[in-house]
Chains A and B, each alone.
Chain A
Amino acid sequence: MLNFIKRPLDRLLDTANMPNRRPELRAHNESNVDDMFIIGDLAGAPVIKLAMEQGYEVIHHIASLPGAKGGDPNVYDVVVAGAGAAGLNAALEAKEAGLSCLLLEKSKIANTIENFPEKKWVYAEPDTKPPKGKLWLDGARKEDLVARWNAMITENDLDVRREEGVESITRPDRKSPFVVKTSKGEYRARRVIIAIGQRGNPRKLGVPGEEQERVYHRLYSPRIYEGEDILVVGGGNSAIEAALVLSEANRVTLSYRGAEFGRVFKDNERLLKAAVDAGRVEVVYESNVTRFDDGIYTLERQEGGAKREEERKFDHAFVLVGAELPVGFLRSVGIRLENEWRGNWLASLGLTVAALFFAGLYGPDARMAGLAANVPPLASGALALLAVAALFVTASRGNRYSWLGISFLACFTVYGAKVGNGEEFWPFRGWGFEALSFGDRPWSFWYTVLYTVLMTVFGIQAMKRWGFDRKDSFQIWRYVSLIGFQWVFFFLIPEFLFQWAVQMNWVGDTLANDPQFAGQAWRSYGVVYAWPLFFYTFFYDPHQIWIVWGVVLTFVLIPILSFFHGKRFCSWICGCGGLAETLGDRWRHLAPKGKESIRWEWMNMAVLVFAVVVTVGILIKDSIAFVRAPSEAGLHIYRIYVDVWLVGILPVTLYPFLGGKVWCRFWCPLAKLMGLYSKWFGRFQIKSNDKCIACTECTRNCQVGIDVMSYALKQEPLTNDDSSCIGCGICVTVCPMDVLSFGDEPAVTSEKKTALTTES
């Protein structure tokens, strides 16, 4: 039974790591280990130029730190592990900055580029960004590029140790230098930069016989194979391109574990189809190689729901299933990975419950009187604070469950105490609302202030990240819009202007003196929030103005907006989405991704249906007697579970763990309604040109978990037909190759691929 829940949940949570995990990084690419930095491919730099930039910027940061230059000849200021683009540029910059620097490389200079196929053209994308640092970079054949880089090492007299890989990095204590142990010696360093990449660590199948001579994990010179039986394993572009080029002079079998190729270039898909039609390549879907023997491999195939094994002969095999993060090495030096659940969950749970329990004893709630009889209120309050402090201590030591506990306690307090009128959630009942109300204002007012301030501060930070730093005016306006709507429609109007309008008769005598209108300031949230997000639009004794406006907003204006802009309400206007886009922005990469997570989006359809049923029930309950009780029960459930737990407590608690869009994506009924409008008659779309390099940046940064890259690779338009895209445009902004654009832009075909095809 547990497995029934565990397996899909496991798959869902792990989708955030796709396709590879990354180390947990702080500002300036510093890892969780102080003074240890990670740059390049490992840190997610999608292209050479951006890897170089990381090397340049990390050295600039290090050089700016007090005491960056140690002066001890036995201790290097910086040791760089890995002489790829990032590591080389860092070493060159360190030299420029006057830092003593040692560059360690376990094999050759620029080993990843060195291992590209012969004469491969290396591009200096993105063209819109100048390279930073001293390392030369222009488009060139890989042989010429590597030759230039080797020449630069000599010209600049860099201290490089080739074929000397790092085996361990240790530091006795925070004040001592690192001890970097290699295959040939031991060095001491004040700071270490890890730039070892992950391409040099190809993923393996882990089957018997894989280590034999004729099984490779990269294809270097395809032309040397002729008339052979060749097996290629993999479903990515590397595997397909290898199969295609090998099929020119060989018999090729392509084995792939999936039922279809999901992430391949449109051109590759076309060329592969032609090769299969011509009989040059046999593709075996849903198959796994289970062992390699001498000239024979065993293939397990899925046929009609049953597994079948068969043996086939081969001369050479190429296992091209991607690269792996060197997890073992990173963990051995103390580096944590993103989205890694570490720590003692039981201790964290105990502390969380203890904090709630003791906070409950503090309160005057009669139910707790028996328990609290012998515990003075101050002592129970102090115990609650002690439990929270212990959570902070364990969290600061890397216990992620404790962070979850802290996040939960914070959100539970904010929302649980806000209900007011003596109905606060336990343990805040009877005192929470009052304790948090001050300055002649109730807690709900200060909650709105807190919400707005958070959105403003983190919104400006997000505006800097996506707008100012990337010179993207679209993102600047988007964040201005989000912050502006929050201030005007979700703070100034409901908290001040509506009441002043009534007091000063701005709305006319009739409305100002009608308690049905004047006494319900909270309804002004409905100016922008449409039903069913603003669930109470049509009941709780509304003035007819609000009913008319609610109908117009939900059934006229929102459909028109959806027609032109899909679900951009979520990313330009909505306060719920606004908090996710601002406070939750830093965790956007942790959103569950791909098809697995999209399956869970059925929940917002369920909430929409529930909202419709309850609304209809409430509207007709006075006319049909037997509807009354279930409708009122449904309303109570909706208020507690949807309006408190699903909107407030749970999603904000989960921001640092599942990204900011948990409510918007999985539970918001209005988002679902707009998705349906957009799917039925919308024209919103994101288009792609043919320049995708499969760097995964777009997919990684999508808060609603769309595998944008799979659309980009196939040049298929991304719409709301099969995705919950909210049109935030971060995928467009973040793409280093300018592949993506919104639908009103013409699809651009670069000349580059044509030129490349002609050359080869």
Chain B
Amino acid sequence: MTNRLTMLISFLLILGAAFAGQCAAADPPPCLLCGNAHTAAEHSVLYKGRAIPLCSPACQEHFRELERTGGLDPLTAGIEPRAALFQADSAPQRLGGSRLPFWIGCYVLLGVLTGGGAAFVAVRKGIPAGSSFAIGFALNVIGLAIVLAKPARETEFHVTGLRKVPTTRASLRCPDCGKANHPSANLCLHCGRALEPLSRSEVNPT
């Protein structure tokens, strides 16, 4: 356990170091108001989701003044909103690039839906769900139609998803000796008398 604790503390230290590294300033953009290259995080401000680089308390004061007089929007219009951390770069530059991922996505999405439908039908019909999903996934609507057209298979051991009801019956009492037997027994285990089974045996008794 000491090992685990030490490992945890060590990783927390790495986390702290990484955070410290993250917080250390990269090359800052120039001041929005005076163009000075030496901007600092403590002077910069957020405005309508935009990170505004500023270089000094004087520029900060100037910025507040413009904010009060409503003269900021023309200055900040060219700066993208900071946005959510992971989507900061999600704006127009993404419009380029191939559309192939989109069409692949549509095919996979439809495949998952029709494959799921085929597997659902297969479970209901008592036929293999895995291969039905594969057919539905690969052939989309055609695959679903193929699975729908397949005949159902008779199966006694059919699990109906989450709508399960216990099927165990009460034990079967021997009319002669009164001892309890499995509901599927056709012979009394105790006296050998022939019994009328209440359900089909799960296996062929040896």
Contacts and interface: CB of A to CB of B under 8 A. Distances in A.
* Interface SS of A by simple majority: helix
A267 interface: no
Interface string A412-430: 1000101111110111011
B162 A755 contact: no
Given A2-B5, A471-B158, A480-B113, 8 more contacts: A124-B182, A128-B157, A141-B180, A341-B4, A460-B133, A474-B161, A519-B91, A689-B166
8 closest A-B pairs by CB: A426-B21, A522-B87, A540-B49, A480-B116, A139-B182, A468-B129, A541-B49, A541-B48
B171 A139 contact: yes
Interface string A372-416: 000000000000000000000000000001001000100010001
Interface stretch (A348-356, A565-573, A694-702): A348-356
A173 interface: no
Contact of A738 (B18, B130, B166): B166
Given A419-B88, A440-B96, A476-B116, A755 B170 contact: yes
Contacts of A329: none
Contacts of B18: 356, 412, 416, 425-426
**In the complex, which of the residues B4, B50, B120 has the most CB atoms of chain A within 10 Å of its own CB atom?**
B4
Contacts of B10: 345, 349
Contacts, number: 293
A729 interface: yes
A467 B120 CA distance: 9
Nearest to A515: B77
Contacts of A155: 206
Interface of B: 1-8, 10-11, 14-15, 18-19, 21-22, 24, 26-27, 45-46, 48-50, 77, 80-99, 101-102, 105-106, 108-109, 112-113, 115-116, 119-120, 123-124, 128-130, 133, 137, 157-171, 180-185, 189, 201-203, 205-206
Interface in A669-728: 689, 691
B42 to A, nearest CB: 10
A425 B21 contact: yes
Interface in A707-760: 729, 732-733, 737-738, 741-742, 745, 748, 750-752, 754-756, 759
Contacts of A737: 166
A127 B167 contact: yes
A148 B206 contact: yes
A664 B119 CA distance: 29
Nearest to B83: A522
A472 interface: yes
Interface stretch (A194-202, A269-277, A486-494): A486-494
Nearest to B105: A492
A408 B11 contact: yes
A645 interface: yes
Interface stretch (A177-185, A226-234, A441-449): A441-449
A643 B202 contact: no
Nearest to B82: A540
A121 B189 CA distance: 12
B87 A525 contact: yes
B48 to A, nearest CB: 4
B205 A632 contact: no
A463 interface: yes
A366 B129 CA distance: 57
B46 A9 contact: no
A643 B189 contact: no
Contact of A492 (B50, B90, B95, B109): B109
A130 B203 contact: yes
Contacts of A420: 88-89
A503 interface: yes
A464 B130 contact: yes
A737 B166 CA distance: 7
B142 to A, nearest CB: 18
A603 interface: no
A748 B119 contact: no
Given A353-B14, A425-B22, A541-B48, A140 B189 contact: yes
Contacts of B24: 367, 426
B162 A536 contact: no
Contacts of B163: 741, 745
A488 B116 contact: no
Nearest to A349: B10
B37 to A, nearest CB: 14
A352 B11 CA distance: 10
A125 B166 CA distance: 10
Contacts of A626: none
A691 B166 contact: yes
Contacts of A2: 5
Given A426-B24, A449-B101, A540-B82, A9 B8 contact: yes
Contacts of A137: 202-203
Contact of A472 (B48, B81, B162): B162
Contacts of A496: 99, 101-102, 105
A429 B21 CA distance: 9
Contacts of B123: 467, 471-473, 476
A439 interface: yes
Given A6-B1, A129-B157, A139-B182, A426 B84 contact: no
A562 B40 CA distance: 46
A152 interface: yes
A596 to B, nearest CB: 14
11 contacts: A9-B8, A10-B4, A130-B202, A138-B202, A442-B94, A472-B123, A476-B119, A484-B109, A539-B49, A745-B162, A752-B166
A314 interface: no
A682 B36 CA distance: 58
B7 A426 contact: no
Contacts of B49: 539-541
Given A439-B98, A468-B133, A140 B124 contact: no
Contact of A521 (B90, B181, B184, B201): B90
Nearest to B3: A345
B197 to A, nearest CB: 11
A463 B137 CA distance: 13
A644 B106 CA distance: 29
A742 B181 CA distance: 33
A473 B161 CA distance: 5
A745 B162 CA distance: 9
Nearest to A425: B22
A506 interface: no
A495 interface: yes
A490 to B, nearest CB: 11
Contacts of A124: 182, 202
B7 A345 contact: yes
A418 B2 CA distance: 34
